[in-house]
Each structure stands twice: as C-alpha cells, then as structure tokens.
A = this chain, B = another copy of it.
Amino acid sequence: MKIDGTPYRSIWVDETDGWSVRIIDQTKLPWNVDLVRLTTLEEMAHAIKAMLVRGAPLIGASAAYGVALAMRHDAADAALAQALEVLGATRPTAINLRWALRRMGAALQSVEPAKREAAAYAEAAKICDEDVAVNEAIGRNGLALIEEKAKSGKRVNILTHCNAGWIATVDWGTALAPIYMAHDAGIDVHVWVEETRPRNQGASLTAWELGKHGVKHTVIADNAGGHYMQHGEVDLVIVGTDRVTRQGDVCNKIGTYLKALAAHDNNVPFWVALPSSTIDWTIRDGVAEIPIEERAASEVTTMTGRAMDGSIATVRIVPTSSPAANPAFDVTPARLVTGLITERGLCEATESALTGMFSDLA
C-alpha cells in the first residue's frame, strides 16, 4: 500500500545494492517512518525479537530473508543450521515463523552451498509474493461485501479492531485488504478505528497506515463501538484473527468478542478476514480449548506516546499500589460470526462450511 503516495511493501530487498533487506521499524510508528536496512542474520533476528517487524505473515517473511542474509555470509551446512536455530528462537510462539523456517530449510538443504544464497533469496521472495497473493484474494473476496453496502449510495462505515493491515503482512493485510480495494476503486469508505487497548495497535498502526494511504477514518475508544452500532453508524465489522477453530470460533485481540456481541444485537454483519493457514483444524471449542496469553501488567498500567517536546515518553496511568491483569486475546463464538473472508472465498463460520471449502486441508 502507499505511504504518502509512494507504494511500499513491509519488507523488500534494497533496490540499490540488490541484497540488503529493508523494513519499516514498526516500534517507531506512528511518529517516525524509519526504513531500516538489515545486512546480517543477527540484525534480522534482533528486528524480529524486538518487534521492529510484527504480525504473523511478516514475521515469517522476515525470517526467510534472515536465512538469505546468513547464506550470503556463509552458506555451509553448519551455517544454515545455525541460521534456522537463531531465527527460530526469536519469537517462541509464532506459528508462521516456524513454518517459514521449515520451508527455507527444505528448499536449501538439497542445494549445494555455492548456490544457496541465490536459492534463499528466491525462496524468500516467493514466500513474500505468495503472502501478497493470498491477501489480495482475501481483499477481492471481501470487496464484494463492501460493494454490496455501497449500492445504497451512502458512505460505507466499517469498524475494525486492532491491526490486521498491510504492515502486519507483506502487503494488503487481511481485514484491511477489502477496505484498501474499496478505497482504490473509488468507493466512499470510512473506517472506525478502535484504539485497541492496552497496546493501542488501532490508534498507532491502523490509523497510521489508513491515513498514509489516504483512507478516511476516525479513531475511537474501544468503548464507543457499540454506541455507533446502536445508532446505525456501522455498516460492517471486519477484523482479523490469530486462530480460527474447526467450527469457526475466532480468537483475536482482546475486546473482539464485545464487538461481535454488539454487532449481533444490532444486526450489523460481523466478518473475519484470514488466510486459511490461520485455521487450526485440531480444535473445535475456542473458548474451552484456546489458551489465552497473559501479558505484562505494565501494558495496562502505562501508556507510551509523544510528549509535548517531541520525545517519546511513557506515563503511568494506574495507582502504583493497584495490580492489573492483561489477557491479550479473547474468543468470539462462531454463532456471533456472520462469516469468514478467506483467499478461496466467503465461508460460513461452521464446521461443515469450513471442511467443505477446505476439504484438502481439513
């Protein structure tokens, strides 16, 4: 998508030297757009660990390029094994990271060392292009929903939670892909961006990327979403997801469940956008079976932003003696989900619909 008129991906090989890897340092957003240049395995491992890059698909792509950087330096078997190990240890729970490293290992192990550098760059590029293609297909399939709403001739208001945008993937994003397509097609679309406490990915990342591409949007407190639905100000909810179960239960950023309830109560369609790789075919009941990560209380008790003097500062917003709890995700039962937007098409959030559309995977 675009940043102030210029098209970008969230990761790419430097145009000038043809081998170093460029990323946008997402820890600096929305205040600074730092196009960091990475030249070694160690630099890429740090970028993943310190969350300069985040979002499951982008982490996978970054790890792939981390292997390529390592092979440029030393393409021996031991160096390849070492690269896979170092990168695999950066984010212990990221599924896409492990998947991308397995794929890179499989692609390179049978290749002679002299040809590994070129093969690694080619495979990493392929992983990126495939991610873009999947997200583009999600966007195209979701676009139909927005076009349907646009027939009224009025502005289409879409509410989203957290960040499932292009900077969480290589390009397009998942939940935001249909929105970018609608915008680019000239549809009058406006996004209610929930700030998404406690980590504020909505206020800091979704608002930033929509603004930079030129999509109309308004940031609101997470508390306000239900009120706007009650008053007919939301035509559609589209969110991303971290894991979908076999029966269509949706695990996503904490607070998603509350918006699904409000959408259901006000007859607002509630759609979830995802690549099929996000479906966990091994479980059914998301509320009972998905363990919810408990993150640091400091994410609730403090807030980081830009101080009046331009510096980035952190302030405490909870009394020092008060404890805080911080579950990072919740589960929305399938009964509250209107449907899933996948790369193969729109799909009901039911086991029969999912196993029907993805019979080769289920």
In the assembly, what is the distance between CA of A355 and CA of B301, in Å? 44
In the assembly, what is the distance between CA of A227 and CA of B204, in Å? 24
Least CB distance, A277 to chain B, in whole angstroms: 25
**Chain A 221-254: CB-based contact to B (< 8 A → 1; otherwise 0):** 1111111101100000000000000000000011
Partner of A221, one of B203, B231, B254, B321: B254
Among the listed stretches A52-60, A95-103, A164-172, A212-220, which one makes contact with chain B, having 4 or more residues with CB under 8 Å of it?
Answer: A212-220
Among the listed stretches A41-49, A76-84, A310-318, which one makes contact with chain B, having 4 or more residues with CB under 8 Å of it?
Answer: A310-318
**Chain B residues within an 8 Å CB radius of A114:** none
**Chain B residues within an 8 Å CB radius of A302:** 305
Name which of A221, A292, A301, A307 has the most chain B CB atoms within 10 A of its CB: A221
Interface status of A110 (Cβ within 8 A of chain B):
no
Q: Verify B211–A319 contact, CB threshold 8 A.
A: yes
Q: Verify A221–B255 contact, CB threshold 8 A.
A: yes
Among the listed stretches A117-125, A140-148, A177-185, A189-197, which one makes contact with chain B, having 4 or more residues with CB under 8 Å of it?
Answer: A189-197
Interface status of A330 (Cβ within 8 A of chain B):
yes
Interface status of A208 (Cβ within 8 A of chain B):
yes
Interface status of A323 (Cβ within 8 A of chain B):
yes
Interface status of A344 (Cβ within 8 A of chain B):
no
Among the listed stretches A20-28, A85-93, A256-264, A346-354, which one makes contact with chain B, having 4 or more residues with CB under 8 Å of it?
Answer: A256-264
Q: Verify A318–B219 contact, CB threshold 8 A.
A: yes
Q: Verify A227–B327 contact, CB threshold 8 A.
A: yes
Q: Verify B303–A207 contact, CB threshold 8 A.
A: no
In the assembly, what is the distance between CA of A192 and CA of B177, in Å? 36
- CB-CB nearest in chain B for A302: B305
**Chain B residues within an 8 Å CB radius of A254:** 221, 223-224, 227
- CB-CB nearest in chain B for A198: B221
| 8 A Cβ contacts from A9-31 to B | 30
In the assembly, what is the distance between CA of A257 and CA of B226, in Å? 7
Least CB distance, A212 to chain B, in whole angstroms: 9
**Chain B residues within an 8 Å CB radius of A253:** 223
- CB-CB nearest in chain B for A256: B223
In the assembly, what is the distance between CA of A195 and CA of B326, in Å? 12
Task: Knowing A211-B319, A313-B313, A317-B204, say if A330 contacts B220 (CB, 8 Å).
Answer: no
Task: Knowing A226-B330, A305-B315, A306-B316, say if A195 contacts B300 (CB, 8 Å).
Answer: yes
Interface status of A308 (Cβ within 8 A of chain B):
yes
Q: List 19 A-B contacts (CB under 8 A).
A: A195-B318, A198-B223, A203-B301, A203-B322, A204-B319, A207-B319, A218-B322, A219-B318, A219-B323, A221-B254, A221-B300, A223-B253, A223-B255, A224-B325, A224-B327, A226-B261, A230-B257, A230-B331, A303-B305
**Chain A 256-297: CB-based contact to B (< 8 A → 1; otherwise 0):** 011101100100000000000000000000010000100000
